[in-house]
Chains A and B, each alone.
Chain A
Amino acid sequence: MFSRLYMKIMQYRLFWRLRTAWMTTAFWAAKTRYRLRARNRSGFQAATTFWAIFSQTKSAIILAAVVGIALHLVGYLIARQYPWFDLPEQKEDTYATLLGAVASICGVFIALYYTAIATVGASIYAVVPNDIRYLLNRDRAGNLYLKFLSFLAYLGLFLIAAHIYGLRPSWLALVFVSVCSGVGVFAFVYLGQHAFNLFDPTKLAGTIFRDMHKELEAAMLGGYRWWDGPFQNAARQRMDRQLRTLSTLSDYVASKQHLRTASYPELAAGTVRFLMYYQRAKRAIPANSAWYEPRPVYRDWYRAHYSDVKVAVETGTSLSHVQDRDPLWVERRLLPILYTYVSCSVEQGNLDDLSSMGGLVQEYLEVLFQDGEITRGAQVLGELGEAVFKTIRAVPAAEATKLETSLKILGVAELLAAMPVFSIVTYRDALPQFQPHAIGRKLAGIRWNRKESIYKAELPARLLPEAEDLVPKLAFERAVYDRQITPDWYILDLFMAMESGRFVENGKLLVGDVPNLYQTWKDLAKSMASPWAYMVILSREWEYVHKLGHFLGVYKQAGEKAVVARKTTSLRWKDASFGDLEKLHELQWRKLLVEMSGCARTYASVERPQSYPDCVGQFMHAVADGILAALLANDVEMLKVLYASYQTACFVRYSHMDLSKFTDIDVMEREFRAVGAIVLDLFDLSGYAKLLAEYHKNPELWKVVTDAWDGYFSGDRREVRIKHLATLLKTVDDQVGVTQREILRTNWEIAVNHFLSKLPTHHEPWPVTEGSPLRPPEEVVGHDSAMVRLIAKEMNGLSIDGIDIFAAYYLEPLSTPLGIEMPGKYTDFKEYVDNEEDAGRRRRSKKPEETTT
């Protein structure tokens, strides 16, 4: 009935006129109220004429008069009860003199303060852009102090006037004026010092940030008419002015070398802190708020509402555009300030400041990643990297190779390259927040009949448009059926469908785009004189790819859980292709290993200062693990690429051993064992190549290794090298206890044994001959190779590792002809293998029915 009546009324022009009049009046009333509130806050800002000054000062005059009267009254009442508080009568002249002196001093202080400001203004602010000069007027401490002084001066004058009129001096007024005078005098000292700060305009940036917060809060839930377009627009315009001032200030400071003082980092830090706050604050700002900058979007004729289409057809016009909003307009204005600061800091070598700023930027990135805004995070990283490298590359080569400068560059590069690593961990930890149960919990707290409720639900800002779109739709349902038709599970699915797109995109970004960032940084670092920045970035990239592998497991699990929780398939769900991501990750892993092996080979001979990280050592470790993985996976191509480089790097590193600098024999021995461990690692991996070549029945694996060793032993130094390595092996083998890095090599042994343990086994009875003892059936490993059977069966008994295999099958045959006596265990091992070979042959010659499985 109501809707029918409402529609009838709507048919009349008068209704629309009244409605417009009402809305205009309501807006005018709200605007007036807002202006009044703003005027109360801003005080004297509008004082341009005498009347305006009077109207602005009347509140201060009244306040002073009220305070004066109150002091008299309260003082009188107290003095009646406690007469000893009252002033002696003969002191009345002194009373008036004191008050006059206080008023004079206040006047002098005001004049002095303005003189100081005028001096600063004339010397510094005369040549700065208007926006910055305006900051001087907005210096809050100074303005407050001047207000206080003027109040005190007038209070003194008022009390004198009251005294002349006949009021007796008030002891309380005297105490009050004395205390206030003390505050005024001491504050003058403080503000005198503060006036020196005004020579540095960046000190005034605090005012801008305070105002930015104020404007932002006006547009957020709870701000004055936060839901009203014109008020949102006004807040945006004011914010725009603040951003312009901040940007001008930043550019000005960046252009003046002498102004890049301690307050410049504060300005940049304030910017980043505001960005962090803003990222959270956006959850309480409507997505279609006029706070965001407008962008016109034209609609599709075949998707628009039929009423709109009909209007356009009937009137011969095109479809009217809708206003889209740019949710990143503030970030677009603020981030360049950060990048400018970073460039200036790198240029000046302010590594300490930059480190603390790096921590803040990392926090900001974490806030973005926690919100699932990987696109934004990656964009910030890219732009930041660009700013950093642009400046680093501008450093002259001669300067860049100096230890001090090089260290700074290294620090900056590492700081930058570490950011994606921390960020991916943050996103991994935040993944449960984007799961259906977490989003569902937030949605459950929303009361859909109250729009403001959606801004209290702590939904990520990107989900707000969906929520805002849903509010009128559910209101429509309630208007028609008096209840909500759309079920809660569907609402959750709507949000999750939207989130699924983001989830997929984030996966692609982390696996594809972020590694591309590393590639860009590496390319830029490679072109520099020193290789260390490149190696540091490569090292962090390896860490990133390592973490990415773990992340993908969690990511896949989260994605699968979300798929299970879906109830409808009709929405625009997007599904991550986990297989593709894993393949891409594996490709990156392989590419990095190859790059690290090349890097290790190239830079193994470069002398490393102690203050530089041992990237080559790290790369060699990673490549060694990669070689074992290639052997286990029967990946000949990968082995070919990695092994030759690794072998070269090992011998380059080994050959750099200089024992002559050690005088203590124990230290010398320890050093020898440490460096010798590099070669033992190589022996170990080479031995496993023999074993796994037999396991995979792929002689190519062993051939890659023997070819590399044959190459090493070719030429004039063959005999010397064989003797040297055989001696090294013997020496290390003779050591009692655990040799250097043996525990690490044990991990390889465990990995190989675990791999072999997957081979099938069966039991066979021992051949029964006359007089032989009865024995339990023998466990036989199902493999053609005797060595594989032997090691797989006796993995805990023989204690054979790769070194033994390599020594037995490659090194010993080379050493024996040269008269080098190798330990007997290698010969024994070969005998065991031969015996196993015979036993295998015997088993194969037996009839099948004699074998029990």
Chain B
Amino acid sequence: MTRRRQRWPGRAETRLDTLFSSNRGDLEGMNADEHNFQGDVANGITPYFIYSERPTITAELAGDKAQVAPILQELGDDNARDTTEQLCDAVMEVARVLAWRGRAVFEIARDDQGAVRLATIPGEGLWIFPWFCLQIIPKRDRERLKKRYNIVRTNRLWVVKVPLALGGHWGYAAMKRHLAAIDHLGPNFFRRDFPVSLNPDGYNFQTYGWALDVFQEIETRKWHWDRRDTSFDHTTEMYYVYKKFGFRAAQVILRDHVVSEINRLFSILGIQASMKLTKTPTAAELLEAREKFLKGQIPIKKALAMCRLGS
């Protein structure tokens, strides 16, 4: 790596290292199911303003817009047109980091002009204690960075974790680990043998496939992830929509959690402001709609529209 620490034009500098060489290989050999899952968690958690007509979702701000806007721009997209778009972009970005790592850690820095800068800190080797945070530099980067660790005070960090309702940080990490451990093509010996030989060990793909689907569903039960499976080989249409509702509700829980964490960030930064997203279904409303759907009171077409990404 040529850059050791993140710098902004205004010469702000983080005390923790933001990029290790090991991060580059994150996608190599990654389990497809794990990859799909973490992609789905953040996708459409808030509307895509650039692709769709403006949805009804609205950000309500209690506080000074001028103070809030630079923070949101720092987290999200600089080109956002209004506060709603800024907040939605910020939520989506934070959710992406969360989905990837189960915990999003940002170091709060200030540039020469005193503007707040937020740098994403990799989770690898990061130990957060009540008063300080210890970052152990991976061995392969120690020579390059010429140090073994970094220590900063915890009040320089803004940490967002997966809410407990969705398994918490450790639960989420364990779930990802479990997903990554199993390949849906088959066990290692089968993947190795299958292209070149017959099947002398009695491996049964149907049995394995069914058990794997059950395993993945149980692992992601708190999220109600649908495994991107639309084949209905093991499920009915009703079950599929049931999962969609559940997953959408989980996303809403995560979204509201991130918004509340952004409000906490404002408070850390001494900004007297509070935001919330309205005119979009809450998790409770989605779960209620799911029950109605199961009773046949909501047609499938409408139910799917309610579960659509970014609605």
Q: Which residues of A contact B (CB under 8 A)?
A: 3-4, 6-7, 10-13, 16-17, 19-20, 23, 303-308, 310-311, 314-316, 470, 472-474, 476-477, 479-481, 485-487, 489-490, 494, 567-571
Contacts and interface: CB of A to CB of B under 8 A. Distances in A.
Nearest to A19: B202
Contacts of A480: 214, 217-218, 221
Given A479-B214, A569-B299, A13 B201 contact: yes
B238 A490 contact: yes
B118 to A, nearest CB: 37
A303 B242 CA distance: 21
A4 B174 CA distance: 12
A473 B236 CA distance: 7
B213 interface: yes
Contact of B182 (A11, A12, A307): A11
B129 interface: no
A23 to B, nearest CB: 8
Nearest to B239: A485
Of all A-B residue pairs in the complex, the 8 with the closest CB atoms, nearest first, are A20-B202, A570-B300, A480-B217, A567-B296, A11-B187, A3-B215, A486-B238, A305-B233
B299 A315 contact: no
A299 to B, nearest CB: 11
Nearest to A570: B300
Interface string B220-259: 0100000011011111111100100000000000000000
Contacts of A3: 211, 214-215, 218-219
Main secondary structure of the interface of A (DSSP, over half): helix
Contacts of A569: 299-301
Contact of A476 (B186, B187, B234): B234
A479 B235 CA distance: 12
B211 A570 contact: no
A490 B232 CA distance: 15
Nearest to B194: A315
B186 to A, nearest CB: 8
A307 B231 CA distance: 10
Given A314-B194, A490-B238, 10 more contacts: A10-B211, A307-B185, A307-B209, A310-B185, A311-B185, A314-B195, A472-B234, A476-B235, A480-B217, A487-B295
A523 to B, nearest CB: 48
Query: What's the interface size class on B, roughly?
Result: 35 or more
Nearest to A480: B217
Interface of B: 178, 182, 184-189, 191, 194-195, 201-205, 208-215, 217-219, 221, 228-229, 231-239, 242, 294-296, 299-301
Nearest to A472: B234
Contact of B238 (A303, A310, A485): A485
Interface centre among B194, B228, B234 (most CB of A within 10 A): B234
Contact of B195 (A7, A316, A472): A316
Contacts of A479: 214, 217-218
A304 B195 contact: no
Contacts of B232: 473
Contacts of B201: 13, 16-17, 20
A4 B178 contact: yes
B236 A311 contact: no
Contacts of A6: 211, 215
Contacts of A13: 187, 189, 201
13 contacts: A3-B219, A4-B215, A6-B211, A7-B212, A16-B187, A305-B229, A307-B184, A307-B205, A315-B194, A473-B239, A480-B221, A486-B236, A490-B236
A17 B202 contact: yes
Contacts of B211: 3, 6-7, 10
B214 A10 contact: no
Nearest to A476: B234
B221 to A, nearest CB: 7
Contacts of A567: 296
A570 B301 contact: yes
B239 A486 contact: yes
Interface centre among A3, A304, A308 (most CB of B within 10 A): A3
Nearest to B199: A16
A570 B210 contact: no
Contacts of A494: 236
Nearest to B243: A485
Contacts of A23: 202
Contacts of B184: 307, 310
A12 B187 contact: yes
A473 B214 CA distance: 11
Contact of B210 (A17, A316, A472): A472
Given A3-B215, A7-B211, A310-B185, A473 B221 contact: no
B299 A570 contact: yes
A472 B214 CA distance: 11
Interface centre among A23, A481, A489, A571 (most CB of B within 10 A): A481
Nearest to A487: B294
Nearest to A491: B236
A487 B296 contact: yes
B237 to A, nearest CB: 7
Nearest to B183: A11
Nearest to A7: B215
B235 A477 contact: yes
Contacts of A487: 238, 294-296
Given A4-B178, A315-B195, A11 B213 contact: no
Contacts of B185: 307, 310-311, 314
Nearest to B230: A306
Contacts of A485: 236, 238-239, 242, 294
A476 B211 CA distance: 9
A19 to B, nearest CB: 6
Contacts of A489: 296
A834 B131 CA distance: 119
Nearest to B209: A307
A306 B202 contact: no
A568 B300 contact: yes
Given A4-B215, A20-B202, A303 B296 contact: no
A551 B261 CA distance: 69
A404 to B, nearest CB: 64
B215 A311 contact: no
B204 A16 contact: yes
Interface centre among A7, A306, A477 (most CB of B within 10 A): A7
B239 A477 contact: yes
Contacts of B219: 3-4
A6 B185 CA distance: 16
Contacts of B228: 306
Nearest to A17: B201
A473 B186 CA distance: 21
B217 A10 contact: no
Contacts of A570: 237, 299-301
A11 B204 CA distance: 12
A476 B215 CA distance: 10
Contacts of B203: 16
Given A4-B215, A4-B219, A487-B294, A568 B233 contact: no
Contacts of A476: 210, 213-214, 217, 234-235, 239
Interface centre among A11, A304, A307, A477 (most CB of B within 10 A): A307
Contacts of A486: 236, 238-239
Contacts of A472: 210, 234
Contacts of B195: 314-316
Contacts of B210: 472, 476
A388 B202 CA distance: 54
Contacts of B194: 311, 314-315
Contacts of B205: 307-308, 311
Contacts of A477: 235-236, 239
B230 to A, nearest CB: 9
Contacts of B296: 487, 489-490, 567-568
Contacts of A306: 228-229, 231
Contacts of A314: 185, 191, 194-195
B241 to A, nearest CB: 9
